[in-house]
């Protein structure tokens, strides 16, 4: 796991940027405190075509595999973030088929060797999480890619000087005109999307001009062609009837077991997160078979109804593994938020970021890698809202004229009256009513909240192209497909990557494996969400009955819940009020509206906690990245694991 920063010059003047790249790569120190490398990329004529910067967290082949990594007598240079779990098999195949030489024992060299012999097709052979950049000195051409589901990030910025690529946006800000232009540099459309979705959707960011390579995408760049991006992978659901359910359940279980085994390949200690749900419990149970002494980690609070520690402890006892819990309170949450937002790059208003930050901090005291359960819900149908098309099917099946009449009736039913929401949603097309798991501010809300509301910017700008790709699927599966491209990569994976990397901890997600998806993709809807039940991801639960404790099989998902609702009405009220009062974001959002929402929440008029948190995170982000009035308290020396400083920095 690492941090990368690369620059390719449009005019062969990359040597002028060495100092700036060397400085900028330091803001990625938390991603890789074990080693630092900065190399100039030169052509055969000595032209300085680029600069590679790399921060390494050593996981595999710890003593070797220094990056940037050359291959084929220096023809190629690679910088890579992630892990390739089938690297041993790829190295053996390349050696057997082509006599490929290897100078290291690591996974990075499998990528660049594969590119040498297979070309761009190498991405289809990789099993893992990755973002990488390769420069071909002979062709004077860059190639790079991001993994299937967007586990690892890759940002890019193109200027008159050339193109910059980095693991985190903050490493590109020194080179962006938008970053120093104040509010003029903020992408207004993506701010609107953030207020709706609670995250900034790919491929954009809140800084105009800085983009993200999308999940399952690759790119090429040369001085003549500039950035050319294409999608190399698209997840395809193809549900089909099942003749033998037990055979399917066994296939799910054994495919996941094999994925966990592959994800445990490391030359450093591996642990696991453990919450109260089936996903993380299953990962721990399967990992224990390969590493009986695995350490597990969880987080909780002294607030009734929110802490998962007791249930996680019961599971740990049942499985015979050690659980290391940590507790946080409102003061820890308030103190950590500026640093959390700095690590995020763009605001993500998911309160679960905070407990994840602290459980990662605790885990990093004991291990370098942890396994986690992200992805199971999107693959196997785990969110309760996925049942909505089943409950609304009777209304959806009515003729258009009848639906129109029912829609009119719903408008005159007073708010809060039973049946109003059912009629509204039942008479609204799926493409218009579902845009992912988080729905913060409505368009009516934003008309009041945003200083410069644009009615032409809608959430359908994000979701319509995704719906178009899966038009042939049933409504439930379409919702899952939309979540793969919105909620999963915009929220779930961003918080997993940033909150773990904040502490130089690598998170691995065995559910988000291409072989696991291949099995999940064929499960029919009635086995994901049985029509005469309220169960979710039913097939997965049946597959894991032999694996997880009985009390966990049908337990409702919580996933590190956070008591922001309670704290914002109490201990955190004054802190939140002061953030709104002192914010310089008033020319973008009406801060009096934010304060009104907070006050209503305190008085118990409405549960505005999620909306208030969304605005708080944005105001903190604005103070850190735009006003620069708030010091997040992050420096190289303050990075987590400061006992593991960079061992060297080379410029060649």
In Å, what is the CA distance from 43 to each residue of 130, 139, 650?
27, 9, 19
DSSP 4: E
**To which H or E segment does residue 393 belong?**
helix 393-396
Whether the Cβ atoms of residue 281 and residue 555 lie closer than 8 Å to each other: no
The pair of three-digit structure tokens given for residue 476, joined into one six-digit string: 């439930």
CB atoms within 10 A of CB 131: 25
Q: Is the pLDDT of residue 637 over 80?
A: no
Q: Is the pLDDT of residue 181 over 90?
A: no
Whether the Cβ atoms of residue 187 and residue 110 lie closer than 8 Å to each other: no
How far is 177 from 182, CA to CA, in rounded Å? Answer: 10
Question: Do you know the residue count of the chain?
Answer: 652
Q: HEC string of 402-439?
A: HHHHHHHHHHHCCCCCCCHHHHHHHCCCHHHHCCCCCC
How far is 635 from 31, CA to CA, in rounded Å? Answer: 13
pLDDT of residue 39: 95
Q: Is the pLDDT of residue 213 over 70?
A: yes
Q: Is the pLDDT of residue 284 over 90?
A: yes
**Which residues, other chains included, contact 48 with Cβ-Cβ below 8 Å and sequence gap of 6+?**
9, 12, 13, 14, 15, 16, 40, 41, 42
- Give residue for tokens 């491929």: 203
How far is 129 from 107, CA to CA, in rounded Å? Answer: 11
Whether the Cβ atoms of residue 91 and residue 116 lie closer than 8 Å to each other: no
The pTM (predicted TM-score) of the whole model is 0.94
pLDDT of residue 640: 34
How far is 21 from 37, CA to CA, in rounded Å? Answer: 11
Q: What is the pLDDT of residues 495-553, one digit of tens each?
A: 999 999 999 999 999 999 999 999 999 999 999 999 878 889 999 999 999 999 988 98
Cα angle: 424, vertex 425, 431; to 5 degrees:
125
CA proximity to 276, closest of 384, 373, 350: 373
Q: Is the pLDDT of residue 642 over 50?
A: no
**Which residues, other chains included, contact 67 with Cβ-Cβ below 8 Å and sequence gap of 6+?**
2, 35, 37, 52, 54, 56, 78, 79, 80, 108
Mean pLDDT on 331-341: 96
Whether the Cβ atoms of residue 427 and residue 404 lie closer than 8 Å to each other: yes
Cα 566 from chain centre = 27
- pLDDT > 70: what percent of the chain? 95
How far is 537 from 523, CA to CA, in rounded Å? Answer: 10
Q: Is the pLDDT of residue 494 over 60?
A: yes
Whether the Cβ atoms of residue 388 and residue 435 lie closer than 8 Å to each other: no
pLDDT of residue 412: 79
Catalytic position from the list 2, 27, 218, 619: 2
pLDDT of residue 636: 56
Mean pLDDT on 259-267: 96
Q: Is the pLDDT of residue 424 over 90?
A: no
DSSP 200: P
Burial-class residue 386 by CB neighbours within 10 Å (0-12, 13-18, 19+): buried
In Å, what is the CA distance from 301 to each residue of 179, 298, 354, 567, 576?
38, 11, 12, 11, 20
Q: How confident is the model at residue 179 (pLDDT cuts 50, 70, 90)?
A: low
The pair of three-digit structure tokens given for residue 103, joined into one six-digit string: 């100078």
pLDDT of residue 402: 78
Parallel/antiparallel/unpaired status of strands 2-9 and 48-56: antiparallel
Cα 568 from chain centre = 26
pLDDT of residue 643: 29
Cα angle: 421, vertex 384, 388; to 5 degrees:
45
Q: Enumerate the β-bridge partners of residue 323.
A: 296
- pLDDT > 90: what percent of the chain? 81
Mean pLDDT on 114-125: 98
Q: Is the pLDDT of residue 403 over 60?
A: yes
Q: What is the pLDDT of residues 320-329, one digit of tens each?
A: 999 999 999 9
Rg (CA), the chain: 25
Q: How confident is the model at residue 648 (pLDDT cuts 50, 70, 90)?
A: very low
pLDDT of residue 638: 43
Q: What is the pLDDT of residues 55-101, one digit of tens each?
A: 999 999 888 889 899 999 999 999 999 999 999 999 999 999 999 99
In Å, what is the CA distance from 551 to each residue of 315, 545, 594, 609?
9, 10, 42, 31
Burial-class residue 30 by CB neighbours within 10 Å (0-12, 13-18, 19+): buried
Taking all residues of the chain, what is their mean pLDDT, rounded to a whole number? 92
CB atoms within 10 A of CB 530: 15
**Is 3.20.20.70 the CATH classification of the domain at 2-233?**
no
Class of domain 245-382+485-553: alpha beta
**Residue ranges covered by each domain of the chain:** 2-233, 245-382+485-553, 385-476, 564-638
Active site residue 2: yes
SS3 273: strand
Whether the Cβ atoms of residue 338 and residue 620 lie closer than 8 Å to each other: yes
Q: How many CA atoms lie within 13 A of 105 on its CB side?
A: 10
Phi and psi (nearest 5°) for 632? -75, -5
How far is 219 from 579, CA to CA, in rounded Å? Answer: 41
Q: Is the pLDDT of residue 183 over 60?
A: no
């Amino acid at each position: 796991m690492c941090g990368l920063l690369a620059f390719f010059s449009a005019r062969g003047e990359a040597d002028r940027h060495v100092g700036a790249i060397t400085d900028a790569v330091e803001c990625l120190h938390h991603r890789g405190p074990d080693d630092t490398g900065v190399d100039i990329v030169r052509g055969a004529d000595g032209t300085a075509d680029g600069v590679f910067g790399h921060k390494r967290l050593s996981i595999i082949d710890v003593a070797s595999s220094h990056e940037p990594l050359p291959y084929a007598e220096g023809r190629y240079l690679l910088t890579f973030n992630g892990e390739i779990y089938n690297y041993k098999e790829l190295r053996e195949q390349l050696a057997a088929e082509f006599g490929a030489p290897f100078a290291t024992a690591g996974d990075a060299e499998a990528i660049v060797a594969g590119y040498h012999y297979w070309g761009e097709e190498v991405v289809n052979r990789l099993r893992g999480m990755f973002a990488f950049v390769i420069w071909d000195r002979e062709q004077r051409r860059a190639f790079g890619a991001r993994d299937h589901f967007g586990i690892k990030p890759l940002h890019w910025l193109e200027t008159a000087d050339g193109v910059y690529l980095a693991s985190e946006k903050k490493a590109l800000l020194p080179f962006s005109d938008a970053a120093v232009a104040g509010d003029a540099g903020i992408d207004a459309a993506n701010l609107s999307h953030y207020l709706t979705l609670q995250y900034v959707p790919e491929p954009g960011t809140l800084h105009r001009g800085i983009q993200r390579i999308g999940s399952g995408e690759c790119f090429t760049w040369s001085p003549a062609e500039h950035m050319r991006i294409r999608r190399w992978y698209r997840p395809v659901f193809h549900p089909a009837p099942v003749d033998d359910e037990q055979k399917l359940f066994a296939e799910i279980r054994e495919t996941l077991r094999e994925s966990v085994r592959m994800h445990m390949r490391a030359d450093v200690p591996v642990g696991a997160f453990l919450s109260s749900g089936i996903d993380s419990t299953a990962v721990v149970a399967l990992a224990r078979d390969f590493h009986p002494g695995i350490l597990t980690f969880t987080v909780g609070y002294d607030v009734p109804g929110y802490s998962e520690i007791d249930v996680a402890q019961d599971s740990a006892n049942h499985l015979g593994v050690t659980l290391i819990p940590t507790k946080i309170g409102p003061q820890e949450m308030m103190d950590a938020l500026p640093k959390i937002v700095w690590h995020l790059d763009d605001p993500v208003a998911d309160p679960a970021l905070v407990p994840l930050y602290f459980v990662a901090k605790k885990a990093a005291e004991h291990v370098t890698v942890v396994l986690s359960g992200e992805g199971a819900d999107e693959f196997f149908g785990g969110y309760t809202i996925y049942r909505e098309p089943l409950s609304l099917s009777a209304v959806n099946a009515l003729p258009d004229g009848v639906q129109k009449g029912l829609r009119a009736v719903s408008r005159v039913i007073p708010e809060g009256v039973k049946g109003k929401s059912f009629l509204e949603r039942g008479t609204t097309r799926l493409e218009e009513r579902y845009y992912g798991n988080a729905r913060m501010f409505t368009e009516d809300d934003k008309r009041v909240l945003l200083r410069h509301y644009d009615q032409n910017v809608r959430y359908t700008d994000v979701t319509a192209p995704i719906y178009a790709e899966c038009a042939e699927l049933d409504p439930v599966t379409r919702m899952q497909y939309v979540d793969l491209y919105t909620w999963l990569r915009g929220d779930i994976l961003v918080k997993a990557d940033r909150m773990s990397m904040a502490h130089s901890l690598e998170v691995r997600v065995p559910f988000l494996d291409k072989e696991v998806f291949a099995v999940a993709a064929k499960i029919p809807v009635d086995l994901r969400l049985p029509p005469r039940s309220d169960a979710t991801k039913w097939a997965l639960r049946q597959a894991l009955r032999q694996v997880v404790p009985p009390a966990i099989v049908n337990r409702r998902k919580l996933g590190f819940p956070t008591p922001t609702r309670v704290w914002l009405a109490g201990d955190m009220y004054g802190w939140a009020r002061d953030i709104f009062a002192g914010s310089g974001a008033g020319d973008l959002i009406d801060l009096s509206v934010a304060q009104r929402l907070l006050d209503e929440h305190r008085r118990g008029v409405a549960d505005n906690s999620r909306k208030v948190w969304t605005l708080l995170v944005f105001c903190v982000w604005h103070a850190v990245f735009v006003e620069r009035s708030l010091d997040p308290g992050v420096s190289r020396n303050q990075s987590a694991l400061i006992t593991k400083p960079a061992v060297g920095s080379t410029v060649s």
